[in-house]
Amino acid sequence: MSITFTVDKFITDETEKLVGLKCVNATNDVFIVDKRIPIVDETTDAQYVQQAYAAAKTEIDEWAAGMSVQGMVFDPSDNSLSSEAE
């Protein structure tokens, strides 16, 4: 499943960056996750975003897995899922 990641928050306070990622899949389902990353000298903006992505990866993967089942048809006769009704 293809997911596009957009930075929707990038806020600096005294000791942390609040980085928000907006995740949009191919069917335009949206998941937004925010992570607080400690400020470290000489860290680039891209590195903060990468760290936020790494911290949120489990949550993003769980969301993506749930979205992949939504809208599928369940056939109780053989316990199968399919993308379309037959």
Percentages helix, strand, coil for the chain (3-state, rounded to 5) are 30, 40, 30
65 located within any domain: yes
Q: How far apart are CA 3 and CA 64, in angstroms?
A: 8
Write out the residue range of the structural domain in which residue 46 sits.
Answer: 3-79
φ/ψ bin of 29: left (φ > 0), alpha (ψ from -120 to 50), beta (otherwise): beta
For 25-71, write each residue's pLDDT tens digit: 988 999 999 999 999 999 999 999 999 999 999 999 999 988 888 88
Question: Number of folded domains in the chain?
Answer: 1
Phi, psi dihedrals of residue 77, rounded to the nearest 5°? -65, -30
Decide if 83 contacts 48 (C-beta within 8 A): no
Continuous segment of H or E residues that includes residue 59: helix 45-69
Q: Is residue 85 part of a domain?
A: no
> Considering the entire predicted model, what is its pTM?
0.81
Is residue 86 scored above 60 in pLDDT? no
The highest-confidence range among 12-16, 64-68, 81-85, by mean pLDDT, is 12-16
Q: How confident is the model at residue 1 (pLDDT cuts 50, 70, 90)?
A: low
* Domain contains 72: yes
Would 25 be classed as within a structural domain? yes
